[in-house]
Amino acid sequence: MVDAPDPVPLSALQHWCYCPRQCGLIHLEQAFDDNLHTLRGQAVHARTDQPGVETARGVRVERALPLWHDALGLVGKSDVVEFMPGGAPYPVEYKHGSRHKAPDIAACDDLQLAAQALCLEHMTGQPVPEGALYYASSRRRRVVAIGAELRAQVVATAQAIRQMLASGELPPPLAGEQAARRCKGCSLIDRCQPLATRAGLDAARQTLFDPDA
């Protein structure tokens, strides 16, 4: 009998894609702080976090549906799942802001949505070839195809997170262009101290073998 993998929260995949250290702070050290972006996100999710079912034009809409994938060790819940008249599930992940994110940052949302799709396939036995991201500010959807590359990325990311959690080691902060674009929007920047950490390491390396330092 093969032991089930340790569960990884679906949200952790988005966190890891955005910044592995942010993922570690939240899911390894259980640390979290709010900023304007997270508060706006909570406001967007105020309704979708309340379990409920509605039906309109033959489509059953379920909010806050628990999701899981035993083989991949994924757990979480959806914002919204639309069940088509034939029963096919269609996940919709809600995000604050507009749909015009930088492609590499939008890809983190795609990864979380793809993980939900894999869970729904596992739970229902129905194929989920696509889903959508709904951006509250622009009130527009962006359809995401759940292709082979994205599916493979879900599996690889879940495994990387599981290894990080098992090791107990916090990943290093982002550096360079990624840090310049991503750290300023992160609510955990005061805990992470990415600039101070890098500066400290650089200074330590420069004086490591200096007897006069």
The per-residue pLDDT for range 7-64, each reduced to its tens digit, is 999 999 999 999 999 999 999 999 887 787 777 777 767 767 788 899 988 899 999 9
Determine the average pLDDT of the residues in 74-98: 92
Within-domain flag for 208 = no
CA distance 26 to 170: 10
CA distance 78 to 132: 12
> What is the domain count for the chain?
1
Q: Which domain holds residue 44?
A: 8-202
CATH number, domain with residue 143: 3.90.320.10
Within-domain flag for 23 = yes
pTM of the model: 0.85
Q: Above pLDDT 90, what percent of the chain?
A: 58
Determine the average pLDDT of the residues in 64-68: 96
CA distance 137 to 96: 6
What's the pLDDT score for residue 208?
66
Within-domain flag for 151 = yes
Q: How many CB atoms lie within 10 A of CB 172?
A: 13
Give the CA count within 13 Å in the CB-facing half-sphere of 28.
Answer: 20
Within-domain flag for 48 = yes
CA distance 86 to 58: 9
CA distance 143 to 96: 16
CA distance 106 to 127: 23
Determine the average pLDDT of the residues in 113-133: 97
Within-domain flag for 213 = no
